Amino acid sequence: MSTGVLGMARTGLILWTLGVGLNRVPAGLAGESGAENTEPRILRKEVTVTASPQEVWLAWTTTDGAKSFFAPEAHIELRVGGPYELYFNPSAPEGQRGSEGCRVLSFLPGEMLSFSWNAPLKFPEIRKERTCVVLRFEHLGDGRVRVKVYHHGWGEGAQWDQVYAYFDRAWDLVLGRFGQRFSPAATEAGTPKERLQFAYYLRPARETFVQDATEEENRIVGEHFQYLTGLLNERCVVMAGRTLEDYPVGIVVFEADDTEAAEKIMRDDPAVAAGIFKGEVHPFRVALIRE
């Protein structure tokens, strides 16, 4: 097959992948096709690592590779229609472990991978739907590979907005762990570098909150709980709870790449962002924990 024909085939496959199940081509990825801009939004992320193209490809397309940075357990078969399942909570009941039921949609070895994806358990209705994740692998020619993530297929409405915001944070965490997987220290040791531990402490903005919280404040506290549940499923949160006092203290012990990332995790907490809780982050180290 000539280079030109091969290029056209690749472009066609990628555009088909990006529009699968949606009957549209996302804006900004249509290249020179001139396709109409009908996709409302695409979540875009990228990371560059020092590694061989083969190492990067295997990290995303094999069970062992995904377990090295993505989730503690996985089931991936690199074939169209094959499973692309990441189990963030392997001990949970079937159907609640992670991306169960997601499938490989298409791939070009070493260049592109696409798979269907689902929402976390806290969005039960939207979890029944599927979005699409497309990975592009760019070989930079100097021992580095850039991985670009395009996540699309979002619906409309407040819950879809929450799912989009959830994955905006989640992909930062995943790509951060992927970057660590190929850091010099991890490469030498053969395992990903251990993340740092932090704790953030929360106090209600007013001392009478427990007694007189409004309906809207309680709704946001529910979002706060869902946010922490999502971080727990992503293996970011170690534990969370609060004291049982009239003016309680909440404690969240979690892992992050550095202090800046830890502070962002706290700021993104819906209750902190809304000003309902006041928070502060401190470096932390778990000394004893019961299994």
The torsion defined by the Cα of 33, 34, 37 and 42, in degrees rounded to 10, comes to 40
CATH 3.40.50.300 fits 196-283, yes or no: no
Q: What is the pLDDT of residues 200-222, one digit of tens each?
A: 999 999 999 999 999 999 999 98
- What residue ranges do the domains of the chain occupy? 10-189, 196-283
Backbone angles phi, psi at 113, to 5 degrees: -140, 140
Q: Which residues contact 249 (CB under 8 A, 6 or more apart)?
A: 201, 202, 203, 242, 243
For strand 250-256 and strand 237-242, is the pairing parallel, antiparallel, or unpaired?
A: antiparallel
Q: What is the pLDDT of residues 109-122, one digit of tens each?
A: 999 999 999 998 88
Question: Under a CB-based contact definition with an 8 Å cutoff, are residues 102 and 117 in contact?
Answer: yes
pLDDT at 5: 36
CA–CA dist 254, 241 (Å, integer) = 12
CA–CA dist 191, 182 (Å, integer) = 9
Q: What is the pTM of this model?
A: 0.60
CATH number of the domain at 10-189, out of 3.30.70.260, 3.40.50.720, 3.30.530.20, 2.60.40.1180? 3.30.530.20
pLDDT at 229: 86
Q: What is the pLDDT of residues 1-59, one digit of tens each?
A: 444 434 433 444 444 444 443 333 344 444 434 444 455 689 999 999 999 999 999 99
Question: Under a CB-based contact definition with an 8 Å cutoff, are residues 252 and 200 in contact?
Answer: yes
pLDDT at 122: 87
pLDDT at 188: 52
Question: Under a CB-based contact definition with an 8 Å cutoff, are residues 279 and 265 in contact?
Answer: no
pLDDT at 234: 76
